[in-house]
Structure 1
């Protein structure tokens, strides 16, 4: 009896002294991160990650969020309004600035005692240079990188799964990934089977009309919206010049390229603009205002002299699609613009409405696209 009791006591002591192994996940930077999962207190390094988190957590979207970057409020206020209506408590959620711009207050973040800070991969260089990761780790905060912007076709599904694991929503993450893949395949599978496909050349301008003189011609290389164009049956002329995600063409290059179609990205940037000439497409946007702003942007040089503009082949797409894995929506809409005969039956608006009904805690409202093409507006 004494021997048995001693064995039990030794086993109890061993349980107390054996270290508890943390869970691990591998982020999109290839880092193995050890932390207890699911995380209990999370600081969102980009507020727009809520678009993903909401699809994973639904009514519990903000349950474990202790703070977030202020970009959703400033750069996507229409979406923020939808989430504020559903979750009024987020109005008092602590906010932080952008790390690469030196606007992130680590001391204030530490006071919130987060387990983890989720960051977009494009911030990694600035974080490495500043030593922020080591300082955060010393305070018990783990960094996890995701990517929905730099190379979304490569990293979006993995990033959804990372956030699913981080927030204890792995099954919902699998459903999200499957839905996204199925919706994209509705376009790519049909294009792969099409014979003698003629791809229109397309120039897409990144976020014109926010600041200053509204110069031309910021655009996308072979990634992000540039890749979406090619996946949708068009040809992105930016990829003929650029090898990076973002870059700038000069007006002469645009004139020489003479694209068949011109696109711009837009959003409601009223809180961040000094000229308010942007196209405010987005959740619940005013279609007439969108068209008027789009027409105004095309009065700039060199757009006014392009045949595509004269022919009304001008379109706008919600800019925020470039940083969340809802890219199946623009891919479907682009396909209808680029290859209208091939995709007569495709309904991207219904696809996005279905996504809201299946995954999101806020209701769908249209307004994410605009066009000066009368045929496309019918």
Structure 2
């Protein structure tokens, strides 16, 4: 393979290898067989440029080594020499995919591509470590000040390289991007928590990642305290005592999910998800199907792109409710006549704050079992304790 040394000025790095062209970026060089080095790592090795502006002997020798391919060596391993990760300011970390990665003992810069992990990072008091966000990650409010990596499905990988994070925390959406990002020397760990019962695991692992085990224990204890307050009264409920619920979302509000996703919050609230009978994990249903199923309650989580993914005020939620209630077929359904149609902010349907969503729903579905339970007060206490924020906006309507 022809060898060359290319300077990527925008990324502040050098690429050693072949098949590169003028104007190349880290993304375009992915899979070309070379590797990246920072300017600080490379310059001491290269020394001064010669009269022609070339780097001379070291570059030529390095080219011969790369062209020759892999070289076998009987050199001692890091463990044998006592130069393992623990002795170089590094440590080992195992993620949810059971992959073990070397990460810094003290993380200073984070890219977090998992929405739930963003909220946990701020709850740990380490939100100032995050250097970029996805376009959807606008909460807590401080996140809006950070540069956006664009789509949650396809983040700007070149910008990630330029930001030089110590660790990237990602979820399953970014699994295919991990090999490219790790070629640039950035460890990627997968820590996701969609369901209510996963919150404790996410908090514990983020506590280890951020060296905040006591804060993690405090956060887990808070969540568990109120989840237990909901679970105990619901124990022993017979199936016929549980309301049948449709939980919809998306622009048309007809998208729903089976037990692999949306059912968990509904289960925790003591109800039955009517979408469990559907054959697919995530799908759109018809108004006719809804009328035929005739659920006892309908909980909808509208798409908030119109509001820049922020929490709408009550007036805006009222407008969204009217729009939902006037969808084809819904106005004539029993849920509308009985005032059993609710809007719930999507941020309370998954991740760290899903336990709050479960508390709101439990109060709606079983008011007689929770006469003294005040979901709004618990929500406000949680935000104040772990984020230093006041409860603003409308998360539930009406």
TM range (shorter): 0.7 to 0.9
Cα displacement (A) at 1:359 = 1.2
Do the aligned partners of 2:265 and 2:349 also contact (CA within 8 Å) in 1? Answer: no
Do the aligned partners of 1:54 and 1:361 also contact (CA within 8 Å) in 2? Answer: no
Q: Counterparts of 2:135 and 2:319 in 1: how far apart (Å)?
A: 29
Q: Counterparts of 1:240 and 1:141 in 2: how far apart (Å)?
A: 43
Do the aligned partners of 2:117 and 2:191 also contact (CA within 8 Å) in 1? Answer: no
Where 2:216 maps in the other structure, the secondary structure is helix
Deviates more, 1:217-226 or 1:350-359: 217-226
Cα displacement (A) at 1:20 = 3.2
- 1:284-299 to 2 correspondences below 5 Å: 285-299=312-326
The aligned residue for residue 118 of structure 1 is 169
Q: Counterparts of 2:120 and 2:82 in 1: how far apart (Å)?
A: 37
Q: Counterparts of 2:142 and 2:318 in 1: how far apart (Å)?
A: 26
Cα displacement (A) at 1:16 = 12
Do the aligned partners of 1:42 and 1:114 also contact (CA within 8 Å) in 2? Answer: yes
Do the aligned partners of 1:205 and 1:219 also contact (CA within 8 Å) in 2? Answer: yes
The aligned residue for residue 150 of structure 2 is 97
The aligned residue for residue 55 of structure 1 is 123
Q: Counterparts of 1:153 and 1:32 in 2: how far apart (Å)?
A: 25
Deviates more, 1:31-40 or 1:293-302: 31-40
Q: 342, 362, 366: which is aligned to 1:335?
A: 362
Point out where structure 2 has 5 or more consecutive residues left out of the alignment. Answer: 1-77
RMSD value, Cα? 2.6
Where 2:245 maps in the other structure, the secondary structure is strand
Moved over 6 A (4+): none
The aligned residue for residue 260 of structure 1 is 296
Where 1:301 maps in the other structure, the secondary structure is coil
TM-score, normalization: structure 2?
0.72
Instruction: State whether structure 2 residue 192 is matched by structure 1 residue 147.
Output: yes
Greater relative contact order (Cα < 8 A, sep 6+): 1
Bigger Rg over Cα: 2
CA separation of 1:271 and 1:196: change in aligned 2, threshold 3 A:
closer
CA separation of 1:49 and 1:70: change in aligned 2, threshold 3 A:
farther
Q: Counterparts of 1:156 and 1:49 in 2: how far apart (Å)?
A: 10
Q: Counterparts of 2:225 and 2:244 in 1: how far apart (Å)?
A: 26
CA separation of 1:189 and 1:197: change in aligned 2, threshold 3 A:
farther
- 1:169-184 to 2 correspondences below 5 Å: 169-184=212-227
Cα displacement (A) at 1:312 = 1.7
Instruction: State whether structure 2 residue 306 is matched by structure 1 residue 306.
Output: no
Cα displacement (A) at 1:111 = 1.9
Q: Deviations over 1:78-127 (max 9, x none)?
A: x45x436xxxxx62x33212353x3x232221122111111122332xx1
Q: Deviations over 1:240-279 (max 9, x none)?
A: 22452x322233321211101111013642256xxxxxxx
Deviates more, 1:356-365 or 1:183-192: 356-365
Where 1:304 maps in the other structure, the secondary structure is coil
The aligned residue for residue 18 of structure 1 is 82
The aligned residue for residue 363 of structure 1 is 390
Number of positions where the alignment pairs a residue of Structure 1 with one of Structure 2:
317
Cα displacement (A) at 1:156 = 2.3
Q: 107, 112, 136: which is aligned to 1:39?
A: 107
The aligned residue for residue 269 of structure 2 is 232
Do the aligned partners of 1:222 and 1:242 also contact (CA within 8 Å) in 2? Answer: no
Q: Counterparts of 1:157 and 1:326 in 2: how far apart (Å)?
A: 12
Q: Counterparts of 1:17 and 1:172 in 2: how far apart (Å)?
A: 36
The aligned residue for residue 376 of structure 1 is none
Cα displacement (A) at 1:237 = 0.4
CA separation of 1:96 and 1:158: change in aligned 2, threshold 3 A:
same
Point out where structure 1 has 5 or more consecutive residues left out of the alignment. Answer: 1-13, 74-78, 85-89, 209-213, 273-279, 372-378
Do the aligned partners of 2:121 and 2:127 also contact (CA within 8 Å) in 1? Answer: yes
Q: 127, 134, 158: which is aligned to 1:69?
A: 134
CA separation of 1:253 and 1:195: change in aligned 2, threshold 3 A:
closer
CA separation of 1:165 and 1:68: change in aligned 2, threshold 3 A:
same
Q: Counterparts of 1:355 and 1:344 in 2: how far apart (Å)?
A: 20
Q: Counterparts of 1:203 and 1:196 in 2: how far apart (Å)?
A: 16
TM-score, normalization: structure 1?
0.76
The aligned residue for residue 190 of structure 1 is 233
